[in-house]
A and B are shown apart, each in its own frame.
Chain A
Amino acid sequence: MAKNNKNYPINHIVGFALSIILTIVAAWTALSSGLPTMWIIIAIMVLAVIQAGIQLFMFMHITESGATNAPWNMIIHSAVIASIVIAGSLFTMSFGFTHDHGGGDHEGGSAPGEEEQQDTEHDGHEGH
């Protein structure tokens, strides 16, 4: 149990405070830092990586070797799922849907196969 650990609960409290601070910084960056969008995205991603590190080291005992290698298993599984979610969403949502309904032209970009998509998009709207 964690109670036997001499760093308990200092580690946890520090980790907890750090995660909250990072979250606030991220929110501030997005809402009121006034940085260009690209830099906001980069900043948030960097903060996210730090956040993940804090979780792994301060809460999830990544340095402890227990009876099983369950943590590594879970990390790998989660990484796979996360890539499916992100890559999959980009893949399926990549047909250039925008809100630009002006002029009857839906497509902002020039996604391949544009013609078929235009007429089906209308179905999508009513159908749901």
Chain B
Amino acid sequence: MIPSAHGIPREEKIISTRNLKFTYEGGVQALQGLNLDIRSGDYVAIVGGNGSGKTTLAKALNGLLKPTSGTVMVNGMPTSELKVAEIAKVVGYAFQNPDHQLFCSSVEDEVRFGPLNLGYPEQEVRQKVERAIEAMNLGQLRALAPLSLRLGERRRVSIASVIAMDPQVLILDEPTTGLDAGESLELMNSLKRLNAEGKTIILITHDMKVVAEHARRVIVMANGRMILDSDSRGVFSDLAILGESNLEPPPVVRLAHRLAKHGIPHDVMSVEELVFQLLRSRGGG
């Protein structure tokens, strides 16, 4: 264990769940026994159809929901014994709808809200806020009212307000829905940079193109269970399991599968790879 500044000691395995089950008050069994380890530096995508339990899982990982049975450990401590505010220092969670988080009169105030709540000293708050504003490219918007911004910008503010708490893990719930292609790409590039700087990213999404291009590991959820946990290449080489959970792989992956009998491998994930394989097979044949 490496000692950390935030009280909860650091571990390689930042989050681990054992037989995690969660049942909502109405009786919906949203999580039915998950065993999941998130290691430091991971870039994990959680995919699955509507109602498969992705959001519930995210809320269980940062302690907003406590397990009905089983455990969620964050840096070796069970979330059932920690306050959400303590866990927030380690696991940040940007909600699906940014309008559920924004209330301040300027972007800068909004981003400050989290670190101030966590009680960081003024100097450190200022540093963290600056870094978050830079990471989400909000420099020009910092004095504006968050609620007056476009959806894509509001989402960046809400993500920045979580990054500013400087958590080791960043969970993002469908961050690209409602964004245009440009905004989406910009956001994904920012996340890639954060991951390269050492942040662990957990991305909940329906967008399989984003998954193919960014995630290193993919967890497929269906009916409150994990039906697949593999590196992203593994997921795209098995189209059957994606079909089962109503997920459509990106066109380039489907094309590669159609070309399988012409010698194109199953695990092509990007246009560049497909071009490379095509040229190679032509050169060979």
- Do the two shown chains form a genuine complex with each other? no
